[in-house]
């Protein structure tokens, strides 16, 4: 998978009961969620950079308006800045970048929780495996 490319499959559904999956299906589910977690981490980083750029562009647009404004009270300059189309667009871009970052964070956090849950199930199976093997030796 190339850096930043989405996995070639949708985020898988999590079964209500992980114990019904055999080891192979559980590992497939685990690897699919890890792939989505990796993708979400990349998207989160990209979204953070986009948000930072949008904030910089907003500060720049506001500074330009403040410099163009006629000398006077700061309140009047701020009102002019709020009414400026470029500043309004820059603020909208910041809000969009913020929303994208929050969405990427949510996807990452959701995948992380599922990966941890599946990992616990795998660990539980590994821990119980020696006892099951000992018990099965004595059962025909």
How many structural domains comprise the chain?
A: 1
What are 56-113's pLDDT values in tens digits? 999 999 888 887 766 777 777 778 788 889 999 999 999 999 999 999 999 999 999 9
Whether 5 shows a pLDDT value over 70: the answer reads yes
On whether residue 16 sits in a domain, the answer given is no
- Whether 12 is covered by a domain: the verdict is no
CA distance 52 to 49: 5
Q: How far apart are CA 86 and CA 65, in angstroms?
A: 9
Tell me if 27 is assigned to some domain: yes
Mean pLDDT across 32-44: 93
| 137 assigned to some structural domain | no
Give 60's Cβ-side CA count (13 Å radius).
Answer: 9
Residue 31 has pLDDT above 50, yes or no: yes
Q: Is residue 97 part of a domain?
A: yes
Length of the chain: 140
Instruction: Tell me if 112 is assigned to some domain.
Output: yes
H-type alpha helices, 1-140: 23-68, 74-83, 85-137
Q: Residue 33 sits in a domain of what CATH number?
A: 1.10.287
> Per the domain annotation, does 139 fall within a domain?
no
| Residue 10 in domain | no
Residue-range definition of the domain harbouring residue 91: 22-129
Please state the pTM of the whole predicted model. 0.71
């Amino acid at each position: 998978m190339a850096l930043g490319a989405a996995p070639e499959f949708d985020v898988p559904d999590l079964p209500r009961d992980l114990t019904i999956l055999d080891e192979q299906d559980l590992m497939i589910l685990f690897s699919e969620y890890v792939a989505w977690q990796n993708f979400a981490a990349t998207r989160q980083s990209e979204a953070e950079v986009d948000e930072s750029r949008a904030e910089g562009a907003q500060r720049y647009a506001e500074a330009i308006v403040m410099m163009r404004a006629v000398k006077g009270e700061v309140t009047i300059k701020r009102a002019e800045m709020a009414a400026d189309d470029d500043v309004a667009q820059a603020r909208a871009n910041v809000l969009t970048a913020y929303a994208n970052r929050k969405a990427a964070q949510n996807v990452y956090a959701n995948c992380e929780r599922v990966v941890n849950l599946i990992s616990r199930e795998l660990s539980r199976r590994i821990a119980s495996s020696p006892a099951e093997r000992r018990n099965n030796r004595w059962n025909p």
